[in-house]
């Protein structure tokens, strides 16, 4: 069974109160659809970094996030993960404030996760940044997981995304 690392932004949209912003509301719905329709087809994993991030913020929302995380496999953080995270940051593709994002990617890479599911398009699901990080990963002998948003991991048989163009 393929492994998917659920990054914190996915968990936040999964359990967050419905948004009045139409784009956020649509992303929440796709996230909930993925959870309902596709979750059982993957081994869903997280890390202590996801737990740490999910613990912050509004206490009621944090409680909801942590409740979802309770039944998921928590990956260990190997020493190689920390070293790889530092190498990703050293590329300059990510700002220093994106250290948690580099940690997610490093942990998922070292643990050979197939997919990293996120709504973080600023630093993670960003083609230009990923291109630079993939080059560094290859140079160091690592293969990044496929970083994607929930619509990209829905599958043809479970979700209709609109007309084929």
Q: What is the pLDDT of residue 118?
A: 98
Residue 159: inside a domain, yes or no?
Answer: no
pLDDT tens for 120-159 read 999 999 999 999 999 999 999 999 999 999 999 997 655 5
Which residue ranges of the chain lie beneath pLDDT 70?
Answer: 156-165
Q: What is the pLDDT of residue 165?
A: 46
Task: Record the tokens describing residue 132, joined without a space.
Answer: 């630079």
Residue 163: inside a domain, yes or no?
Answer: no
Write out the residue range of the structural domain in which residue 142 sits.
3-153
Write the CA distances from 162 to 21, 62, 92, integer angstroms.
21, 34, 37
Residue 161: inside a domain, yes or no?
Answer: no
pTM: 0.91
Specify the number of domains making up the chain: 1
Helix (H, G, I), strand (E, B) or coil at 27: helix
Residue 96: inside a domain, yes or no?
Answer: yes
Residue 165: inside a domain, yes or no?
Answer: no
Residue 128: inside a domain, yes or no?
Answer: yes
Question: What CATH number is attached to the domain comprising 61?
Answer: 3.40.50.1010
What share of the chain has pLDDT > 90, as a percent? 92
Residue 59: inside a domain, yes or no?
Answer: yes
**Quick one: how far is CA 96 from the chain centroid?**
19
Q: What is the pLDDT of residue 155?
A: 79
Q: What is the pLDDT of residue 156?
A: 67
Residue 162: inside a domain, yes or no?
Answer: no
């Amino acid at each position: 069974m393929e492994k998917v690392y659920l990054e914190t932004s996915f968990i936040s949209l999964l359990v967050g109160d419905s948004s009045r912003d139409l784009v956020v509301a649509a992303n929440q719905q796709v996230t909930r659809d993925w959870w309902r329709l596709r979750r059982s087809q993957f081994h869903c994993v997280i890390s202590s970094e996801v737990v740490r991030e999910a613990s912050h913020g509004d206490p009621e929302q944090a409680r909801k996030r942590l409740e979802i995380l309770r039944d998921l496999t928590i990956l260990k953080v190997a020493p190689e993960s920390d070293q790889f995270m530092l190498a990703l940051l050293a590329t300059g593709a990510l700002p220093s404030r994106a250290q948690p994002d580099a940690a997610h990617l490093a942990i998922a890479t070292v643990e050979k996760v197939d997919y990293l599911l996120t709504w973080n398009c600023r630093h993670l699901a960003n083609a230009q940044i990923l291109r630079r990080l993939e080059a560094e990963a290859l140079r160091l002998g690592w293969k990044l997981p496929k970083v994607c948003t929930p619509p990209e991991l829905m599958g043809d048989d479970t979700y209709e995304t609109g007309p084929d163009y």
